[in-house]
Amino acid sequence: MAMSAGVAADVPFDPAFRDFLRDVERATPPDSTVAVVVPRGELYVYLAAYRLAPRRVLVGANVCCPSAVGVFGAAAGPAPAGAFERRAVSNGSLFLRLP
């Protein structure tokens, strides 16, 4: 496995976040809008946008009109405003908007 600055080159972010994004990707259709709540800096937001493409990615739980809200790790707080169904995903929660 190639290494760059002590980090595996094929996994440039933490494995828990990778698993979280994988589960969010599997649970949401490609045409959805997904809001993400992450406790860390911009790198996590950029990685979410890259991994979840072509989904539209927004930042924050209470932004306007997402079809899903993914909450990573310790960022878990109250459910987003509106009618959502909560699903457990690796290292977080996913809230899917109810029809």
Per-residue pLDDT at 2: 43
Q: What is the pLDDT of residues 11-39, one digit of tens each?
A: 466 888 989 999 999 999 999 999 999 87
User: How far is the C-alpha of 69 from the C-alpha of 37, rounded, in Å?
Assistant: 8
Query: Is a pLDDT exceeding 70 seen at residue 3?
Result: no
Q: How confident is the model over 66-86, as a mean pLDDT?
A: 82
Residue of 98, 95, 91, 99 whose CA lies nearest to 40: 91
Query: Is a pLDDT exceeding 80 seen at residue 84?
Result: yes
